[in-house]
Structures are given as structure tokens and as C-alpha cells.
Amino acid sequence: MVRFGFGLGGKPTMSQRFLLILMALLFTSGPIISQASHHEDLSQEVSHHYAHNKDVKIHYVKAGSGPLVVMVHGFPDYWYSWRHQMNGLKKDFTVVAMDQRGYNRSDQPGGVESYAMHNLVSDVIAVIRDTGATQATVVGHDWGGAVAWQVAFNAPEVVQNLVILNLPHPNGMARELANNPEQQRNSAYARRFIEGSAEDPDIMFGGPMNPQTLARWVQDPAAKVLYEAAFARSSFNGMLNFYKANYPRAGQPSPVATSEPLPKLAMPVLIFHGLQDTALHSDGLNNTWDWVDNNVTLVTTPKANHFVQQDAADLVTRTMRWWLLDRRD
């Protein structure tokens, strides 16, 4: 069963919960976990572009027409992670998927500071502006989710809607790192990334970091070939610098923390979470509705893992399309 829930500036009422569950059951008839294993080649349907953020070029692909949706991948990934969603949304939206700095065809600046959150945020804003738009729905998974939250906090004027996949609100993440032993164990890999380097022979969950180990999670054989090629073009130390520059440490202030509490978000928020995620505990989702002054729609799926946009591709795509169409001007 897929669980939907939402809040409106507070804890959802029982009637609201039942309404959203009923809508979910009506809307998601058919298979929940995508069975699609075929290779979806978007190469003939997307155009390739580069946005400039000062001296760093950010590669992105674009398809479709309509209101802008910008998708931001996590670790280890690249723009192709969003192929299912791009196919499902391109009829009604201009869909952009970017390579974050360090990955694939984007520039790979050296130094940890180059990957500080303010630079990652400004990369997304540069992509939005490069399309000629002033606002977008910003979608982020994993590290892309962390960046998307921060774009919404720091540049709310450019974020029309916010969609987050498998990355709790920063307040929830900090709480779980401080108090949840399971999340602390789950984050042990991040501590290795922070303290080590890409050259360490056991840095990647006991093995070396190379295109093959980075793409080990990819299930589709045809897609795996593309992933390995994209990772061969990427900077492994750049990937680790996301963690070194930004990952919150247990018992310590987050590197991206400020002296002021995070502002409540005014835009609608849609959150997906695969409950089989072994890196990010779902308890981090609790109280998200307390930190948003608009509708919060939460979709959890028990059989999906961390890469929910691929593990439950049909569910994520259909739900995202329905949710976005409901909010079109």
C-alpha cells in the first residue's frame, strides 16, 4: 500500500488523512513498483545546454514545453536518473534535468569549497535563468533534495513548487542524526566519505570508487552502461566534496547551519520516500508539516529503496504529474 498524507501548516486531521488515502487508492490503481526494465533512450528528444555560474559550466538537458520543472540528482547519479519522469511530464511541462557540478558533463572544479552549499544553490538558479524562466518547480533527490531545500530557503522567489525525494527536511535530518541511533549507523558511510579520499581502496562501502562500483545500484543493464560512462567522465573527489563541505555531523552544527532558524516555506511541498532506504531513516519526515506554511503532500512506498524515482517510477511520475497539473496557473 502507498501511504499519502498532507498537512496545512499543522498536523493533518483524521479526515484529511482518509481523504488523501482514498485519493491515493483511486489515483494509483495498477502496479505501484515500476516493472519497466527497458532502456528509455531520450537522446533524440532532449536538447543539451550549459548554464554559467561564474566560471563553472553546468550541463542540463531539456524536453517538452510548458511551465518549467528543474530536476536535481543526488549521489551517485546524473541527469539520466529522471528519464521516467521526463517522459511522463514533457507533454505538459518544460522538463530540465541537470548534472550537478562534478558529475558527467558539468564542470568539475577542484577544492572542497567549490562544493559548498551556496555554490550548489546558485547552480540551480543559474540553470533556471538560462532557460529564460524566472520561476520553476524544483525537484531534488538525495543530495539534489538537500540542494532543493536550500534553494527554497534562500531564493523562495524562484521556487513555485518544491518536490523532494528521499531527503528529510534539514530540521528532521539534524534531529535524527542527534537522537536516532539507527540513523547514526546509517550515516557511517558519510563519515568515511568526509574523512577519506576517492583513492582509498575501501572508500566505496568496502571497495574502491570506480564507475562500476558507483553504478552498482542501477538495475537496468542498458542504463548501467550509460551510468558507467557518465561516472567515468565525473570527478570522484568532487562527489566526496559534497559530503566534506555540507554533510551534518552528529553532535555538531551543520556546515550549512545559520544562527537563525530556517524560515517556514510558503510554497506547496510534495515529498516521496522509499521506506527501504538504508541511508535515510523515514523518522526524519516527522514534523515536516510544522516547517511549511502551505500544503505538504507526503507519499511513502514500502517496497521502494533510496532511488524511489526509479524503484517506483510509475508511481512517482503519475503522482508528480497529477500534483503539478493541479497547481498550474
Domain harbouring 169, CATH code: 3.40.50.1820
| Amino acid in position 15 | S
How far CA 179 is from CA of 23, 251, 260, 278, in Å, comes to 34, 9, 21, 17
CB within 8 A of 300, min separation 6: which ones?
A: 2, 3, 272, 273, 274, 275, 282, 285
Q: For 67-114, what is the HEC assignment?
A: CEEEEECCCCCCHHHHHHHHHHHCCCCEEEEECCCCCCCCCCCCCHHH
How far CA 208 is from CA of 75, 230, 244, 247, in Å, comes to 16, 17, 18, 21
| Amino acid in position 293 | D
Q: Of 167, 178, 212, whose CA–CA distance to 73 is shortest?
A: 167
CA 68 to chain centre: 17
How far CA 85 is from CA of 57, 117, 311, in Å, comes to 24, 26, 12
Q: How many residues does the chain have?
A: 329
Residue 279 counted as domain residue: yes
Q: Of 112, 86, 98, 51, whose CA–CA distance to 238 is shortest?
A: 112
Residue 101 counted as domain residue: yes
Residue with cell 554533510: 247
How far CA 217 is from CA of 9, 40, 137, 159, 260, in Å, comes to 37, 18, 27, 31, 38
Taking phi over 0 as left and psi of -120 to 50 as alpha, with beta for the rest, 132 belongs to left
pLDDT value of position 328: 85
Residue 8 counted as domain residue: no
pLDDT value of position 146: 97
Q: pLDDT by residue for the chain (329 residues), tens digit each?
A: 344 444 333 444 433 333 343 344 334 434 434 444 444 567 778 999 999 999 999 999 999 999 999 999 999 999 999 999 999 999 999 999 999 999 999 999 999 999 999 999 999 999 999 999 999 999 999 999 999 999 999 999 999 999 999 999 999 999 999 999 999 999 999 999 999 999 999 999 999 999 999 999 999 999 999 999 999 999 999 999 999 999 976 555 556 655 578 999 999 999 999 999 999 999 999 999 999 999 999 999 999 999 999 999 999 999 999 999 999 86
How far CA 281 is from CA of 180, 278, 290, 305, in Å, comes to 9, 7, 19, 11
pLDDT value of position 253: 57
Q: What is the rounded distance in angstroms from the CA atom of residue 70 to the CA atom of residue 269?
A: 15
Residue 224 counted as domain residue: yes
Residue 230 counted as domain residue: yes
Looking at the 3D structure of the chain, how many domains does it have? 1
Domain membership of residue 307 as a residue range: 42-254+263-325
Residue 12 counted as domain residue: no
What is the Cα gyration radius of the chain? Answer: 18
Residue 163 counted as domain residue: yes
pLDDT value of position 11: 46
Residue 28 counted as domain residue: no
